[in-house]
Structure formats: structure tokens, C-alpha cells
Structure 1
Amino acid sequence: MRVRLYKLLIKSFIGPFIGTFFVALFLFLMQTIWKYLEDLVGKGLELSVIFEFIFYFAIHLIPMALPLAILLSSIMVFGNLAERYELVAIKSAGVSLLKAMRPMFLISFTLAVAAFFTANYLIPKANLSWGALLYDVTKKKPAMNIVDNVFFKDIDGYQIRVGKKHEDGQTIENILIYVDDKKNGGNNNILIAEKGKMAISEDQQYMTLNLINGKRYQELVDNPNYHTTMPHNTMAFESYNLTLDLSELAFNRTDKERFSEDQRMMNVEQLEIRIDSLTRYIHKKKNSLYRYMDPYFIVASDTLDIQDTGVVARFEYLLNYHSKSKQPLISSISDSKTRGILKSKFPKPLTKEEREKLTTKSSNGSLPTINEREQIIERALQTANNVKRISSNNLDDSSSQREQRARYLVEWHRKFTLAVSCILLFFIGAPLGAIIKKGGFGLPLVISLLLFILYYVVTIFGEKLAKQGVLPPVLGMWLALMVFFPLAIFLTYKASRDSQLFSADAYKRTIKLLTPKWAKGYLDKK
């Protein structure tokens, strides 16, 4: 009997899941494809290219459609079972809610494993193909589409306007062509013709214009007297052939390997290699900066950690410290001089003779002159500026590498959070459907959309904080799951206890129990 029940539950889950998955995928696809509609329309792309673009983009949207489909289908299935009292019959047969959820949990677990392999292998390859195709589509110029009385400027070096284009697509009238000569200052050659014929080669690489009854004007900008006399040539013709290169209008494919270094195009193994490489690079830069800065911060081997920076306090500290040792701190200073230093907090002003001594070297050459001191200060400032510049560049480089490492870590965790979200949202949807006791696409759809939007917002919020370095990547990417995990436990517990969480009658009964006796009569009238 239990096997039959499990088969029934599995069949009731698979149908709504497949339907909701493709509906959600289609809605997400239609909602986001509008951003790229301008790049796809009006460029003469083949239908195969457009369908290929949509196919790769649909695979890119699987991480959004799959969790929503699991959430909505689980709410619908258990809502239908509860609404038709089938769930009550199942429980009366000795099968608890958790046991009834077991077969669909196995399906959700299978979907989670499939989601991981999809995110790890299929989606990176689809992203690589889609990214290269998107680059090629955006770079492609519009197709050869000449409209009446509108200049066509997408052929490099030419601006073409026709007064009338016949229905055969080849015969044209009132033709005006500017030939852009960039070396000689712009549009110096002009072609005018009464009518003509357009012919495009079979390989779509060239177009030949056969102009009839026209003139060609050419300004002689190389003439020394050009700016005074404006010399030019005029040539009349009965027939003139002009061949245009259309290769730049063709759709060319770019090598996919150009985009392979993007984190969205990598699987777990490739991401781990990049993360390890960046981690070692950051540590190397950090150690090299320490080695570079170390000579500029020399500390004596006998330097003590003195907390107070005052002169008297430091001297007292040294006296107290060395009084415990066998050797005196200063043996050449008499007690009277020492007491004098300790009594005075401020140094005595220099006399005139002492100030004059500082401007010249002493007899033994121990004091530098003012010029020498200025040179010393200047060299010190130069050294400090060099240290500041090198350390700043080093820190900027390390910061950019940390940001790149954070993006790799975010993508690494994304592949696992997708799989876990499939299981977590099932444990939210199944008990929630049993509690609300509503099936179909009405209330379950509204609730699932609200929950999914909240989940998606928290996911994007955590991802942004992780990429900006505000949160560790592991915390930012798992933030939404940590927020929704207590909700899953709460709903599963309430559903297993047959809690009337969304029942208005239950809340009314609770309010009546908490209402004083004198107010109950008033509430009963209401």
C-alpha cells in the first residue's frame, strides 16, 4: 500500500513540476530577452543564430527557474492533497506528513544533484557560447537596408541616399553618394545619378552599383590654391560602376576562448585553480611589500615597549626597569643631574652661544650644518614619497586581486547554493501547501512568488556585499539559505502538528480566549 501511495505522490509531483518549470523559464526568458531585442532585430541575422542565442540564454536562466518550480509545485501538490482531504486520509492510514514527503524529497534531492552538475558543467559552457555570441551580435552592423530619402552610413567610407527604391529591390532613382576621403579632409567626392541598379554577390561580400546618367564632383584639396580658388573636377557619365565591400556587414564568429577567463564560464575545478593562484599571488605581494618596507622601520634590539610617550615618564620607566638589573642605566650621570631632569617637564631654552654652535659643525665634526640637514631632510622626503608611492601601488594591485578572488569565490559557492536551495525550498513549499490547504495556480502561485522574490532579493543582496568585500563570500552567498532555513524548520514543524497557521477561525478563537468577559458579548454581536 505504501508503495502505491509513493507512486501516486511522485506522479502528482512530476506533472506540476515540469509544467511550472517551463512556464517559469519562459517567463524569465521573455522578461529578460527585451534587453537584447535591439541587438537582434534589424541586423539580418539568420533564424538559426537567433534560436541559438535564445537556447543558450535559456540555459543561463535555469538557476532562477528551477528553485521557483520546486517551490510552486510542492505547494500545489500538498495544497491539493490537503484541500481534497486526501492528506487526512493518508495520515489516518498511519503515514505521517514527513513520510508522505519522503518520495518527493527524493525527487528534490535528485533534482538538487542534477542542478549541481548543470551549474558545474552545462551552464559554464552555455555561458561561454552565449557570451561569445552576444559579443558577435552586438558588434555586427545592421543589414544592408536602403530606405527612401534616408542616408545609409553603415558602409565605411560611403554615405548613400536614394530618392526611390522600386519593389524589385534592385532599381533605384535619384541617387546621391558621398565618398568619405579621410586622408583629404572628408567628403570630397560626390556621385549623383538619375537612376541605377543594385546587385549583391552570391557570397554577400560585395555590392555593385550600376549608376546611369550622372556626374561626379571631386574637390582638388591637394592643390596649393585650394583655399582661395577651390579647384575641382566634374565628370559626366552615362554609366558608372561602383563596387562596395560588404564584408564588415557580415556576421563573424569570435573565438570562444577569448571569454574563457570570466568566472561565469568556469566549473568548480577551474575556479579552485584560479582561487589558489590568486591567493598565492596576494600573499606574495604582501610579503614583498613587507620586505621592501622593513629597512625603513629599523628598531633597536634593546627597544622597550613604552606606553607613555612623555619624556619624563619614559625616563622614569627606564630607571625603574634598570633598577631591578645588576648594571645601572647611566653610570656617568650624577644623581643631582638626574634629579634635575626628572623635576623639569620642559627643556631649558638654548642660549645664544648654543644656537650659534648648531649653525656650524662642532670641533669633532659630530653635528651637520644647516645645508647638510636640509639635504638630509630632502632625501628623507624623497624616500618617504617613494615608499608611499610603491606601497600605494602595491596595495591597489592587491585590492584588485582580492576583488577578483571574491568574484571567483562567489561563483564557486553559487554552484552549491543552487543545489541546496532546491532541497530547502521543497521543505518550505510542501508544509506550506499542507497548511494553507489550497491547490491550483491561485493562492499557491501568489505565496510562492512572494517567497521567491524575497529569497532572490536576499541572494542578490548577499552577493553584492560579498563582491564588494563587505561580507566574506561564504557568508554572502549562503545568507539567503541561512535566513530561510529557520522558516523551513518552523513550517515543517507546524505542518506535522496540523497547525492552523493560516486559519482565520483559529485566530478568532484565540482572540476570544484572550478577550475579557465584558467584551465577549460585543464581539459576538460583531
Structure 2
Amino acid sequence: MVSFLKTFFSVFIILMFIFILQGIWLYISELAGKDLDLSIVLKFLWFYSPRIVTLVLPLSILVTSLMVFGGFAERYEFAAMKSTGISLQRAMRSLSLFIVLLGITAFFFSNNVIPYSEYKWQNLRRNIQQFKPSIAIAEGQFNQIGEDFNIKVAEKSGERGEFLKEVIIHKKNMKRPSSNLIVIIAEDGELASIEGSNTLSLILNNGHYYEEMVEKDYKKQQREPFIKTYFEQYTINIDLTALNKKDVEQENNISNQNMFNIGELSTSIDSLSEAYSKDIERFSENMYYRTGSVKFVDKKTLTVVLNDTINSVLDIYPAHQRADIIAMAVNNANGTIQAAAAKKKDAKRKVRRLNKYEIALHEKIVLGIACIILFFIGAPLGAIIRKGGMGLPMVVAVVLFLTYHFIGIFAKNSAEDGSIHPFIGTWISTLIMLPLSVWLTYRATTDQGIVDFDQFGQRIARLFKKRAK
């Protein structure tokens, strides 16, 4: 037990250090060049570390069990135990209890600690991005700068990313701050500021300025009045007073499925499912009314006696209505096709979001179960291969874990798209490992290897003898 705990904590710390270094490499662009204090960087890594425990903990258990039990078998300690009447099951009993308790702890950690740290980490990331707006502007997507501007650029260049190409800006109007009534499009631009100044100048070249006018009169507003101008150079001054405060503790209104515990996820899943069902129902009703069937329902018209002279449905309607029906049918068909295509994309997005919530819920449960199953793979496998240390056990553990991990990744991606159910996508890698753990435990407790080559050779020899006869 003591040997297992020492090895476990050593492996866990080493793997955490490796994965944290990988995290620094992934997010170096968000941390570098912003004059951040060391305390802020350490806080970033502190809030980032709980999310990688879901990878490090199962791998640590698998590696440790392989190393420890492989070392016991290599030093013939299991043979000594069996000579004194101690079986492998009894030797594993205390460790099995520890692993079960560790799995339960992993569940509570995943349910309580990880959502809190995820919120803090995402919140800190957003606050750090505001330290330098030029870095906060990512290519190919809208980025909020301050409270009034959303900026999208196709390409950035320059040492500090100050030169911009194909700039699109949505600016809020003071009369209607909830709407983006001003749109500015320019071929290129440049971010310029003076050291110590709270003003960022965005210089735009060769573009157009569009602004929708807000009229009090409803009839005038129906005309959709707007202002359009062309400019060769236009300068926008953005107040960075709020950004220059550099308050990394500011609380932002952000949320995703990784920030919720099981209770919150269950509530969100129910509300999302209900909203999705109602949305589909409203869409089907809307499509029915858009067909115009209600408009042409006329009891007098429909009392026409059916006979051989009627070749189509249009024949039962008066001649003056047939042209209107055909025109309406064509328009409805085109509108229905467009509406169905748009609704299909919207439904796919909503289903994907709902699947992510369901996957997040099952991941909190599967973590503890995976820890237990991987222990019952590593421990008997180490006793069978009879090799300890950091050599062969580490190779075997990495191969098994990568197999487990990549199966889970592919399954979760398929579950997000709706190809398979989120429950299957989350549990399939663990359920695949379950029979392997049972089989390896049976082979180890009955003193059998993975493959009995002598028995296999005897069966092949008997097979050839039968063919010869």
C-alpha cells in the first residue's frame, strides 16, 4: 500500500507538470507580451490545472498499478505471498478499497471543483484578453472591444498586430444601445495609440459608413431610412479607460456546460429539450399556415361532385382562383425550402448544444468509474508481464491509455454531431475497457498468462494431425 501511494503521487505530480507545460504552450499567445505579473500567470495555471485532472488521474492510476504490481511480480513477491497463503485478490483488497474511494472523490471533484475552476479560468482569460486590444482581436471572427464596438478583421500583420485588412465594425447607437445600427466597412486599417494614453485610435482607409435611422413615426420607419457615406480615411477613437484598469478579478457574465454541476446540468438539459420541442412544434404549425390552405377553404366550392372530368385538384376551384393558387404554391414552395434549410441549421446548432450538456453530465460520473476499471487493467497486467520500473510498464500504459482516450474523443465528437447518443459517446471507451479488466483479472488470479503459447502450439499440432489422417 505504501509503495503504491508513493509511486502514485510521484507519477501524478510528474504528469501534472507535463500537462501544465503543454497548457502553457497552448495558451502562450494569450499570456505573452502583455506585461502580466507572475501572480496572474500562476493564477491562470492554478485555475487551468483542475480541468486536466480528468486526463492525469486515470493515466496515473494505470501507470502506477502497472509499475507497482509489475515490480512485485518481477521480484517474486507474489510467489512469496502465495506460499504463505495470501492470494492476489487478498493482496489487491486494500488497494481496491483505496481506488474505490479515489473514484468517489474524483466524482465530487469533477462535480464541484472543476465547474468553479472552469468559470474562474474562463473569466480570467477574458480579462487578460482586454489588456491589449490588438491581441484581443482574432482573425475571422467578431471581437468585442469595450462596450460599443464589435470588430472583425480578415488578416492581421505587423509586430504588434496593428495592421488590419478587410475590417468590419458594428457600433452601437446611443439612441438604441441594444441594437447595432452602425456598420463600418473598410479595406484596411491600423491601430495606433500613444504610450500612457487611455485612447486607442483605429485609422480606417477606403471604406463605407452605414447607419440606420430611428424614426418616431411608424410609417416613416417602415421605409427603413438609412445614411450611407464613403470615406478615404476615417478615425475612430476608442476609450480604453475601463480596459486599462486591468482588473483580473472582474466577474463577467459567461457560462458553458463545463461550469455546471450535475443538478444544474439536469435543469439545463430539461429546459433546452423543452424549448427545442416547442420550437419544432411552432415551426411545423407555421409551415402549415404558410401553405395558405386555410385561405381557400370554401364549403360551397368543396361541394363539387367528383367525376371523370376532374383531372386535378385545381379543377374543383373557380378559374379566377387557380392562378392565385399556383402563384401561392410556387412562392410557398420556395419559402418553405429556404425556411427548412435555415431551421435545419438552427436545429443542428441547438441539438449540438444539448448534446454537449448531456456529455458534460455523463463525464462527471464516468471519471470515477474509469479510475476503478483502469486499476483492474493495470494491476493484473503488471502481475502477468512481471516487469516493473519505467520501461515496459510505461509503454504499455501509454498505449492502453491512448487507445482509451482516442476512442473517447472520436465517440464524443460523434455524440456532439448527433451521430450517436451522448450516453454511448461518453461511456463507450469505459465500457470497452470493462471486459478487458475482467479478463485480465481472471487470468492473473488463476496464474495464467495473456497467451498460453504451449497450449496454442498443442492445438495447432492436433489440428495438423487430424488433417493428415
Is the pair's TM-score, using the shorter chain for normalization, greater than 0.5? yes
Q: Report the equivalent of 1:118.
A: 109
1:73 aligned partner: 64
Aligned to 1:405: 354
Shift of 1:251: 2.5
Counterpart in the other structure of 1:444: 393
Match of 1:47 among 38, 42, 49: 38
1:7-27 CA distance string (max 9 Å, x none):
xxx212111111111111111
Which deviates the most, 439-448 or 506-515?
A: 506-515
Which of 61, 71, 75 is matched with 1:84 structurally?
Answer: 75
Equivalences for 1:30-429 in 2 at 5 Å?
30-141=21-132, 157-158=192-193, 248-249=243-244, 251-253=246-248, 255-259=250-254, 261-293=255-287, 368-369=318-319, 372-429=321-378
Rounded Cα–Cα distance in structure 1 between residues aligned with 2:101 and 2:50: 19
In structure 1, the residue matched to 2:453 is 507
2:293, 2:201 → 1: CA distance? 67
Give the secondary structure class of the aligned counterpart of 2:253.
Answer: helix
The code of the aligned residue for 1:135 comes to: R
CA contact (8 A) 2:16 2:56 kept: yes
- 1:135 Cα offset (Å): 2.0
Q: Distance in 2 between matches of 1:447 and 1:47?
A: 38
Tell whether the 8 Å contact from 2:363 to 2:426 is kept in structure 1 after alignment: yes
Does 1:474 pair with 2:423?
yes
Cα offset, 1:256, TM superposition: 3.6
Q: Using the alignment, how far apart are the partners of 2:372 and 2:105 within structure 1?
A: 12
Q: Counterpart amino acid of 2:259?
A: M
Residues 358-383 of structure 1: CA deviation (Å, up to 9, x unaligned)? xxx9xxxx8733x6422221123334
Distance in 1 (CA, whole Å) between partners of 2:281 and 2:29 is 50
Query: Could you tell me whether the CA contact under 8 Å between 1:25 and 1:62 is conserved in 2?
Result: yes
Partner of 1:460: 409
8 Å contact from structure 1 (residues 44, 142) kept in 2 = no
- In the TM superposition, residue 451 of structure 1 has moved relative to its aligned partner by 0.6
Secondary structure in 2 matching 1:44: coil
Q: CA deviation at 1:54?
A: 1.0
Instruction: Letter of the 1:251 partner, please give it.
Output: K
Q: CA deviation at 1:77?
A: 1.7
Distance change in 2, residues 1:156/1:372 (3 Å): closer
> Who is 2:220 aligned against?
none
The question of whether the paired residues in 2 share the 8 Å contact of 1:128 and 1:256 is answered with no
Question: Helix, strand or coil: the match of 2:27?
Answer: helix
Deviations 1:200-252 (A, max 9, x none): xxxxxxxxxxxxxxxxxxxxxxxxxxxxxxxxxxxxxxxxxxxx988755533
Instruction: Give the superposition deviation at 1:468.
Output: 0.8
Q: CA deviation at 1:57?
A: 1.3
Of all paired residues, the percent bearing the same amino acid is: 32
SS of structure 2 residue aligned to 1:258: coil
Is the 8 Å Cα contact of residues 50 and 117 (structure 2) preserved in structure 1? Answer: yes
Q: Secondary structure at the match of 1:252?
A: coil
Q: By how many angstroms is 1:493 displaced? A: 1.0
Relative to structure 1, the CA distance from residue 151 to residue 256 in structure 2 (aligned partners, 3 Å threshold; closer, same or farther) is closer
Q: Cα distance, 1:43 vs. partner?
A: 1.5
Structure 2 Cα separation of the partners of residues 184 and 86 of structure 1: 78
Contact 2:265 2:361 in 1 (8 A): yes
Q: Distance in 1 between matches of 2:350 and 2:87?
A: 53
- Deviation at 1:71? 0.7
- Partner Cα separation in structure 1 for residue 414 and residue 399 of structure 2: 23
- For 1:389 and 1:182, locate their aligned partners in 2 and report how far apart those are by CA, in whole Å: 39
CA shift in 2, pair 1:373/1:124, >3 Å? same
Please report the TM-score for the alignment, with normalisation by the length of structure 2.
Answer: 0.69
What letter corresponds to residue 107 of structure 2 in structure 1? F
Checking the alignment, whether the CA contact within 8 Å between 1:151 and 1:159 is kept in structure 2 is no
User: Are 1:43 and 1:142, in contact at CA under 8 Å, matched by a contact in 2?
Assistant: no
- Which runs of 5 or more structure 2 residues have no equivalent in the other structure? 135-157, 163-189, 207-238, 295-304, 465-469
- Distance, in Å, in 2 between the alignment partners of 1:70 and 1:248 is 44
Residue-by-residue CA offset, 1:397-423 (whole Å, 9 max, x unaligned): 333221111010010011011111000
Match of 1:498 among 431, 444, 447: 447
CA contact (8 A) 2:30 2:128 kept: yes
Q: Which amino acid aligns with 1:67?
A: P
C-alpha distance in 1 between matches for 2:327 and 2:259: 52
Give the conservation status (yes or no) of the 8 Å contact 2:377–2:440.
yes
TM-score normalised by length of structure 1: 0.62
The reply on whether 1:11 has 2:11 as its aligned counterpart is: no
* Partner SS state of residue 441, structure 1: coil
Say if 2:128 and 2:248, in contact at 8 Å, map to a contact too: no
**Structure 1 runs (4+) greater than 6 angstroms displaced:** 150-156, 244-247
